[in-house]
Amino acid sequence: LIETTTKNDPKKITICGAGLVGCLAACYFAERDYEVTLYEYRSDIRNMKVVAGRSINMAMSVRGREGLKRIGAEESITSKGIEMYSRMLHDTKGNTQAVPYGKRSQCILSIDRRYLNELLLNEAEKYPNLTIEFSHKVKKCNTNTGEVVFENTLTGQEHHVKSDLVIGCDGAYSSVRQSLLKDKAVDFSQSYNCGYYLELQIPAKNGTFAMPPKHLHIWPRGDFMLIALPNQDYTFTCTLFMPLEMFEKIQTPEQAIDFFEKNFIDALKLMGNENFVQMYFATKPSSLVSITCNPHHGNKCVLFGDSAHAMVPFYGQGMNCGFEDVVVFFEILDSLGFDNIDKVLEKYSQTRVPDAHAICELAIRNYDEMKYLVTTRGYRLRKKLDSILNYLFPSSWVPLYTMVTFTRIRYSEVIEARKRQDEILRKGGLITGLATLAGLGYFLFKNKANLLSPILALKENEGFWYRIWGYWRSPAIMKMNGLWSDRKEQQFKSYLMSQRG
Ligand code: FAD
């Protein structure tokens, strides 16, 4: 690790947004003795009864844990999470089936988002060289000079801050990114193709979990789905993902109950009709956005987390990827030093942009997998095949989900590796098919005498042909074909009499 700054000449770092990623980034800079100020739009969430906005819980996996590990906070934070080892699939009748995420020991952690943010704020506050300013909203930023204009939302006063580097961690609708788009030629895309979501809750039952807790519960229903993650207080946070038109069709309590009875009867029973209706109509569904930009930096500014790459939540990687941004940035900064900040920023974007694009794409693809594919035989077969091949070739055949969730293989390489696996299976399938046909042909050729002999033997056996003839001439078949007559009936009866004789 290169000393990137000294206590005598600390570089000034302004971090915009004290969400999950902003807090973590602040800790990393503070560890290296920078003079860090973390500005947050909201007031201190640790003193708030209800936090406006999303209260969803997070699935944390290896990349997120690595981010925490490097500031020594992995154990203290992850010990507050609940381990989830498999997807628990629920059908429309309430039957369930567990599909493991990976090997037996591999799990993801369910952590309450607000709680995680509070823990990270506590971590950040431990550093004497780190100041947190709440109720400060970024209004604009000059990404070339490092000047940011904040509005103190309590007093309405404007506040100009100049620093050596501005870090944009102000989420999917980032004001810092807005400024960067004005200051620099940045490719930017934003899409809303994955519908809307609404949060519900399954309460605790008799002081414990109402469903098995060590799973991420999924009710896949084709165009829509419900998921549930366990919380420390024995409740489950459920998220209903649906196209907006479907949400719009449900206008009354009866319609909502009817819809849930048809699709999520077991979840509805655990919520209770009255409680469910109250939760369902308490908030409006929120949209899901996917955002990419390239590059992630300006002259004196860099974007981390959702401000650089907001993704739909179907891989549970948004926060994990944001934490990894911080890890990757500091690997580069530590090796090149702050004196080479231009090169650091350049290299960071070159490294991180392809990975951010890759995970945004994978997250969209995983929507199909979660809401639909998990229920198909082809999907389960592929899962089994992947785990067998992974068992046989543990280092060269790693399933897609495992690469994303349980390793730190670059997201862009994950996509490439998956393409290679698909190609191998496709070619393997073709080769196996051709080999089977060839083998069958050879077997028939070699054994033609043996295989044909029973047929030839039958052909020579006259009794066989008579029996076939007799079948067609039998009264039942002739009656069925309309060939039976009174005369034939008489003849048949006298034949039977003569046989009894
Ligand atoms: P945010 O968490 O959005 O924080 C941004 C901060 O900036 C906030 O505190 C905000 O108040 C502040 N801010 C905003 N504007 C300004 C401004 N103008 N001035 C100053 N401050 C400002 N990720 C996972 O890894 N696992 C999951 O299981 C998962 N599940 C998800 C489920 C859903 C339904 C959704 C929507 C997302 C999910 N995510 C998940 C993604 C995850 O929530 C985000 O990727 C993560 O919160 C990004 O953190 P961030 O700090 O970049 O942004």
Q: Say yes or no: 267 and 295 in one domain.
A: no
Mutate to test the pocket of ligand 1, among 14, 39, 56 (most ligand atoms within 8 A of CB): 56
345 lines ligand 1 (CB under 6 A): no
pLDDT, one tens digit per residue, over 221-234 is 988 999 999 999 99
132 lines ligand 1 (CB under 6 A): no
pLDDT of res. 303? 98
Q: Say yes or no: 187 and 199 in one domain.
A: no
d(CA 291, CA 177) in angstroms, rounded, equals 11
Which range of residues forms the domain containing residue 47? 12-80+111-191+288-369
For residue 441, is it within any domain? Answer: no
d(CA 176, CA 166) in angstroms, rounded, equals 9
pLDDT higher than threshold 50 for residue 1 = no
pLDDT of res. 9? 75
pLDDT, one tens digit per residue, over 242-296 is 999 999 999 999 999 999 999 999 999 999 999 999 999 999 999 999 999 999 9
pLDDT of res. 453? 67
For residue 103, is it within any domain? Answer: no
pLDDT higher than threshold 70 for residue 134 = yes
pLDDT, one tens digit per residue, over 271-283 is 999 999 999 999 9
The chain-wide mean pLDDT, for the chain, equals 90
pLDDT higher than threshold 50 for residue 2 = no
Per-residue pLDDT band at 468 (split at 50, 70, 90): low
Choose between 5 and 92: higher pLDDT. 92
d(CA 468, CA 464) in angstroms, rounded, equals 6
- CA–centroid distance, 454 to ligand 1, in Å, is 74
Angle subtended at Cα 267 by Cα 261 and Cα 271, rounded to the nearest 5 degrees: 100
Determine the average pLDDT of the residues in 33-55. 85
Nearest atom, ligand 1, residue 136 CA: 20
Helix H segments across 159-272? 175-183, 244-249, 253-263, 265-271
For this complex, say whether ipTM is above 0.90: yes
Place of tokens 């980032």: 174
How many residues are recorded in the chain?
Answer: 501
- CA–centroid distance, 171 to ligand 1, in Å, is 5
Mutate to test the pocket of ligand 1, among 140, 302, 306 (most ligand atoms within 8 A of CB): 306
- CA–centroid distance, 328 to ligand 1, in Å, is 19
Determine the average pLDDT of the residues in 110-124. 95
DSSP string, 97-134: EEEESSSTT--EEEEEHHHHHHHHHHHHHT-TTEEEE-
Q: Say yes or no: 363 and 383 in one domain.
A: no
Q: Say yes or no: 175 and 293 in one domain.
A: yes
Q: Say yes or no: 242 and 205 in one domain.
A: yes
Nearest CA to ligand 1 atom 16: 170
For residue 99, is it within any domain? Answer: no
Number of domains the chain is built from: 4
Per-residue pLDDT band at 142 (split at 50, 70, 90): very high
Nearest CA to ligand 1 atom 12: 17
Q: Say yes or no: 282 and 292 in one domain.
A: no
Q: Say yes or no: 281 and 242 in one domain.
A: yes
d(CA 134, CA 12) in angstroms, rounded, equals 18
The CATH number covering residue 296 comes to 3.50.50.60
325 lines ligand 1 (CB under 6 A): no
Q: Say yes or no: 357 and 406 in one domain.
A: no
Residue 345 burial by Cβ neighbours in a 10 Å radius (0-12, 13-18, 19+): buried
